[in-house]
């Protein structure tokens, strides 16, 4: 059986997510199911479209050991993981950027160097439906931007330069073919 996580070539990944009217028990259950799938796949983030849904929802669990500065201090001390994020909006971003290799559960075995703002401000609804504003740095800032891209139908393949597209040509082609067979 195919994995329940949607991969490149599945049209749902190109959809724009719809904001939720309120955070209901059904949506909390959906988030919990996403956490389960994310942990089984050893990911740190998962967007609803990656399980074939179009709610504006992603889940994140950035490990504490990856959320540290060079001195070993937490980069985002006020933030508690894991997080379910509904109706996210990035309302601010630093001018300063950095480059990191990113993977994605919808692009197995592919890594892409992506330039992004180092810090972002995120407004969202938490799992209790409370509005929150969060200043994020480091891997958390990056994961938020990656998952937020998913909800806008923007994928890792869109971040590839020509060399990366050539390098991953076969893998991308295989994913698209698999999705055609499954359809």
Q: Does 151 bind Ni ion (CB under 5 A)?
A: no
Q: Does 104 bind Ni ion (CB under 5 A)?
A: yes
Stretch of residues binding Ni ion (CB under 5 A), selected from 11-19, 82-90, 96-104, 112-120: 96-104
Give one word for 113, left, alpha or beta, with left for phi > 0 and alpha for psi -120 to 50.
beta
Q: List the one residue out of 39, 67, 54 whose CA is nearest residue 136.
A: 67
Q: Tokens standing for 142?
A: 């990056």
Which of 49, 55, 119, 147 is catalytic? The answer is 147
Place of tokens 């992603």: 58
70 HSE (CA, 13 A, CB side): 0
Q: How near is the Cβ of 103 to Ni ion at its closest, in Å?
A: 8
Is 147 a residue of the active site? yes
Q: Does 44 bind Ni ion (CB under 5 A)?
A: no
Q: Does 59 bind Ni ion (CB under 5 A)?
A: no
Footprint of Ni ion (CB under 5 A): 104
Active site residues: 147
């Amino acid at each position: 059986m195919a994995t329940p996580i949607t991969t490149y070539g599945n049209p749902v990944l190109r959809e724009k997510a719809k904001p939720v009217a309120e955070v209901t028990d059904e949506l909390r259950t959906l988030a919990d199911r996403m956490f389960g799938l994310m942990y089984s796949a050893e990911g740190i983030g998962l967007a609803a479209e990656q399980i074939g849904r179009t709610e504006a929802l992603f889940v994140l669990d950035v490990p504490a050991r990856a959320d540290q500065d060079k001195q070993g201090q937490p980069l985002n001390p006020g933030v508690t993981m894991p997080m379910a994020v509904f109706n996210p909006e990035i309302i601010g971003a630093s001018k300063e950027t950095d480059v990191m290799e990113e993977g994605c559960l919808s692009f197995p075995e592919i890594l892409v160097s992506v330039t992004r703002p180092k810090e972002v401000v995120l407004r969202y609804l938490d799992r209790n439906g409370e509005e929150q504003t969060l200043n994020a740095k480091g891997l958390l800032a990056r994961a938020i931007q990656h998952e937020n891209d998913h909800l806008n139908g923007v994928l890792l393949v869109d971040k590839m330069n020509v060399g990366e597209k050539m390098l991953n040509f076969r893998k991308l082609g295989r994913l698209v073919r698999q999705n055609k067979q499954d359809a």
